[in-house]
Amino acid sequence: MRSDKAKKGLERMPNRALLYGTGIHPSHIRRPFIGIASSFTDLIPGHINMRNFERYIERGIENSNGTPFIFGVPGICDGIAMGHSGMKYSLPSRELIADTIETVANSNRIDGLILLTNCDKITPGMIMGALRLDIPTIVVTAGPMLAGHLGKKRLSLVRDTFEAVGKFKTGNLKEAERKKMEISACPSCGSCQGLYTANTMACLTEAMGLSLPYCGTAPAVLNEKTRIAYESGQRIVSLVKQKITAKKIVTKNSLENAIRLDMALGGSTNTVLHLMAIAAEAEVDLSLADFDKISQTTPHISNLRPGGESFMEDLHIAGGVPAVLKRLATKINNTKTVSGKLTLKIAEEATIFDNDIIRPLNKAYHKKGGIAILRGNLAPEGAVVKQSAVDSDMLAFTGSAKIFNSEEEAMKAIIGKKIKKGDVVVIRYEGPSGGPGMREMLSPTSSIVGMGLHKQVALITDGRFSGGTRGPCIGHISPEAASGGLIAYLADGDEITINIPKRKINVKLSTSQIKQRKSKMKLLPPKIKSGYLYRYSKSVESASLGAIYKKGR
């Protein structure tokens, strides 16, 4: 066992003495050491119930003769960080989390890991660290929250708070109702109720084989989730004994399954960044072309919020991830999972309880997958859009550029009603390096929707979007402005054409015009000049590569 190097032999007498100082019994020394990387925090509704899950994971580990050790991992709630400088830390925190997992598990010679996670960057960050270690690993995502209610109307965070800001500004929402929605939209612990980044990553983690069946969709408050936590604790000890490590689970085939599920569900565009980063740690070759190739051959068969009206609890009741895999059985790879069952066996044993929540392939909501990769002179390295959340009338759009050098500038113009029909809002210098941190633009996009402009206005950015974004919003423009991408040289009034079916995004500028602008316009200086974000800005790669750290950094 890896842990033998920290506990076995005469020379390790001091090490054992310190371990006994934690209160463990001598019998625990002989067992596999299982780390429980817990991202519990009082700051995130998706994480406040993790203390209970820690207990049941511990019980499962002890029941299978393992020795559990809990250690902490930092976490950020993107919703709380949204719309201000705090969001600059969200994506960079992924790298901190990966480093934390590597550091704690290696310094203590942990034999296996349970990753107790839920929200946004925390899940991919933990998986990245586990792959770097390549030790047996199971992910327990803490589950989505239940839908809120205002009478018979079901509420979700994004639709009924972020988009409500725009509705209130246009006089389409009264103050009394606004207050009720604010306090009722998030009625329980758990990750936000729709197919936003946290829940998308939970489902994809299950599809790639790192979580037990139904973990990705089981609501946070259900006893079912507690049992999954317990069974995960039991199962990790078996994986250690069988030497089934993370890289034996996360392969090119299993990542393709995750992408396939993502396209079928219509998940968050952030998963492009995260799956590419996970692939890099797994030493798997994955590119933007893989996403578009799979999207072209995967029908969009489930339509949860933000694009549709269903919630995560509906997907779970309909049969969860296994039921979606059952629909996709002819298209998925038969890969190993931490459950001990192959993917196709899990799919075979699943039951589909709702043919509308999980539609047959020939009755899909859309013939192609939820995400599209666009290219053109504005994004030669690629850009990403959640096409399943775009109105059919806006799949092809030509408009006039309105340029903003930060999210705050754009938000002020949107709320100030300075954005008109036919505009393309351009938010630049928000990329991985230029932001720094590649902030999510949920506040501007939600305000545009709330004000009823999402069928008249497009938005492009070298930043990114929340999984809750809907409408013609194109993110991850690469190269970014800070790296000299063409987006840095756009001017008000430039004609921008977006064609999602044809996978194109271009600005109507000649080669000579572009050359002339580059000779006259200077790139903006760095926004942050000290601390972690400054170091991050100097180390991070392009969004087209997953915004991972440059090799050697």
Among 197, 186, 219, smallest CA distance to 45 is for 186
- Six-digit token string for 501: 């079916």
Q: How many CA atoms lie within 13 A of 30 on its CB side?
A: 4
Mean pLDDT, range 252-263, rounded to an integer: 98
Minimal CA–CA distance to 145: which of 48, 35, 73? 48
- With cut-offs at 50, 70 and 90, classify the pLDDT of residue 307: confident
Q: Cβ distance 296 to 368 under 8 Å?
A: yes
Supply 308's token pair: 């549709």
Please name the helix (run of DSSP H) or strand (run of DSSP E) that holds residue 381, with its range, or none. strand 379-386
Report the distance separating Cα 507 and Cα 399, nearest Å.
10
At residue 455, the pLDDT reads: 92
Whether the CB-CB separation of 478 and 349 falls below 8 Å is answered with: no
Q: What percent of the chain has pLDDT over 70?
A: 100
DSSP H or E segment with residue 119: none
Q: Cα separation of 126 and 137, whole Å? A: 10
- Answer whether 228's CB lies under 8 Å from 182's CB: no
Residue-level pLDDT at 169: 87
Domain(s) labelled CATH 3.40.50.2300 in the chain stretch across 31-146+188-349
**The domain 373-545: what is its CATH number?**
3.50.30.80
**Residues 386, 270: Cα–Cα separation, whole Å:** 10
Helices (H) and strands (E) in the chain, counts: 23, 14
Beta bridge partners of 461: 427
First to last CA, the chain: 30
Alpha-carbon dihedral angle through residues 164, 170, 175, 178, given to the nearest 10 degrees: -10
pLDDT reading at 238 higher than 60:
yes
Question: According to the model, what pLDDT value does residue 356 have?
Answer: 96
Lowest mean pLDDT across 37-46, 81-90, 217-226, 375-384:
81-90
Which of 90, 447, 466, 537 is the catalytic position? 466
* pLDDT for 470: 86
Contact 381, 479 (CB under 8 A): yes
Comma-separated ranges of CATH 3.50.30.80 domains in the chain: 373-545
Give the residue-averaged pLDDT of 143-157.
Answer: 96
Q: What is the pLDDT of residue 469?
A: 85
Of 99, 526, 108, nearest to 281 (Cα)? 99
Residue indicated by tokens 């599209």:
372
Compute the distance between CA of residue 167 and CA of residue 165 in angstroms, rounded to an integer: 5
The predicted pLDDT at position 552 comes to: 65
Once rounded to an integer, what is the mean pLDDT over residues 294-321?
96
Tokens of 148: 């809120």
Asked if residues 115 and 282 have their Cβ atoms less than 8 Å apart, the reply is no
Cα 449 to chain center, whole Å? 22
Contacts by 23-28 with C-beta closer than 8 Å and gap 24+? 24/67, 28/67
Contact 123, 198 (CB under 8 A): yes
Token code pair at residue 395: 């799949």
pLDDT of residue 158: 87
User: Which helix H or strand E contains 264, and what residues bound it?
Assistant: helix 252-265
Predicted confidence at residue 468, as pLDDT, reads 78
Which helix or strand (DSSP H or E) is residue 281 part of?
helix 270-281
H or E stretch at 136: none
Q: SS3 sequence, 471-512?
A: CCEEEEEECCHHHCCHHHHCCCCCEEEEECCCCEEEECCCHH
Q: Averaged over 485-514, what is the pLDDT? A: 98
Q: How confident is the prediction for the chain on average, in pLDDT?
A: 96
* Cα pseudo-dihedral 185, 188, 189, 194, rounded to 10: -50
CA-closest candidate to residue 95, choices 549, 553, 551: 549
Angstrom distance (rounded) from CA 429 to CA 125:
24
Banded model confidence at residue 553, pLDDT cuts 50, 70, 90:
low
Is 466 part of the annotated catalytic residue set? yes
Quote the pLDDT of residue 198: 97
- Over 60: is that where the pLDDT of 410 sits? yes
Residues 447 and 82 sit within 8 Å (Cβ to Cβ): no
Q: Domain 31-146+188-349: state its class.
A: alpha beta
User: 296, 288 in Cβ contact below 8 A?
Assistant: no
Provide, rounded to the nearest whole percent, the portion of the chain with pLDDT above 90.
94
- Closest listed residue to residue 71, CA positions, set 105, 99, 46, 47: 105
Cβ(326)–Cβ(359) below 8 Å: no
Question: What are 383's strand-pairing partners?
Answer: 374
Interval 438-486: pLDDT, tens: 999 888 999 998 899 989 999 999 999 987 788 899 999 999 999 999 9
E strand map for 304-378: 371-376
